[in-house]
Amino acid sequence: MAAVKLATFNLYHFAAPGIFWHERKLTATYSDAQWAEKKAWIASVVAAMNADVIGFQEVVSHQELGALMASLGYPHFFCTGHPIFDADDPAVYVNATVAIASRFPLVSARPLSGVAGVPDDTVIDADFNFSRTPVDAVIDLPGIGRTQVFVCHFKSQGAFVDDDVIDALGDWGDKIRTLYSARAMAGVNQVAKRAAEAGAIYRLFRRSLDADPDAPVILLGDLNEDPASHTISILTQADRVWSWGSVPANGIPEPLAYLKHVYKLYDSFNLVVMQGLTRPNTHGGIEGGSVLDYCIVSNGLNPKNPRRRGTVIKVEVFDDHFELGPPRDRSSDHAPVVTTIEGIGEG
């Protein structure tokens, strides 16, 4: 049977020389030699992963990435748009974008600028937009068929306060009170934003699943949350259901019991038996790091689903650079995650 590999890969400031990340300083841009080293490292990792589809985060120089991936055997490439630059300094970027590269043709690819039909009784604004516009692509995968693939980079962690606001205050009492207050509200904003993004992506999965309960749908992303976080449980609906209204959880009529799995999503790492006792970190390093990068799949790719279109059989984390280098600016502070899915149909 045909098997395909899909990867998520945060590139860490993929910005050509002369572009600065977040602030203008020599340590926040690449020399020509460093840029060549970074692209060579990316090429070596792409070769080692041997993935068929790759979702990228922290893309700034998208034309250079498209050319690089074409040279590596990925002729099909789509980026959601242009990064955001500082209005006061157009050489400084303040927000990157995401992209997808594929060995297989993209049946369709578009940016997700928002999510229509969000219920009025949620805290999500009607004009909600993602912090980084995701990719929404459809790819005809061998042995699986037409598969919807989202590429996401959820809101970053960290409650950031504008230094200029604090510096403008002469009294230390004002500085301290203002910083704590501003940081509290910034913290609420970044947590709420990620939760809203998780809920919005779940709604998008549901559009496909409501039309076809066994549809293969995949999210490749840096979700900026731990696997045990409430944000991830919003996305996957992994929390236990204790009752269906007044009916106990085990009270579903047997012919319909499968539906409780249809409308959940699955962290692919948890679908592989004996994947490992310890989950490798995907951000920060082998020691003291965290898991932020995921391949989330629909029930149509769940090994336990007898009606599945494909089977998740392996998940790998490519983290050698955490110990062996090069430095993170010429490699990445993230480790790519690769999920192998075996098709049920003929390849």
**SS in 3 state form for 119-163?**
CCCCCCCCCCCCCCCCEEEEEEECCCEEEEEEEEECCCCCCCCCH
pLDDT the model gives residue 114: 67
State both tokens at 1.
Answer: 């049977």
Give dist(CA 265, CA 89) in Å, integer: 42
pLDDT the model gives residue 275: 65
Q: Are 291 and 281 in contact (CB under 8 A)?
A: yes
The length of the chain, given as a count of residues:
347
Beta bridge partners of 76: 102
Share of the chain above pLDDT 70, in %: 94
Instruction: Write the CB contacts of 58 (distance below 8 Å, at least 6 apart in sequence).
Output: 10, 11, 12, 13, 14, 96, 153
Residue 305, pLDDT above cutoff 70: yes
Model confidence band, residue 188 (pLDDT cutoffs 50, 70, 90): confident
Decide which of 345 and 133 is more confident: 133
Helices 62-71 & 32-49 angle (0-180, nearest 10):
50
Residue 122, pLDDT above cutoff 70: no
Model confidence band, residue 157 (pLDDT cutoffs 50, 70, 90): confident
Is the pTM above the cut of 0.85?
yes
Neighbours of 230 (CB within 10 A): 14
Radius of gyration of the chain from its Cα atoms, rounded to whole angstroms: 21
Domains delineated in the chain: 3-156+193-343 (3.60.10.10)
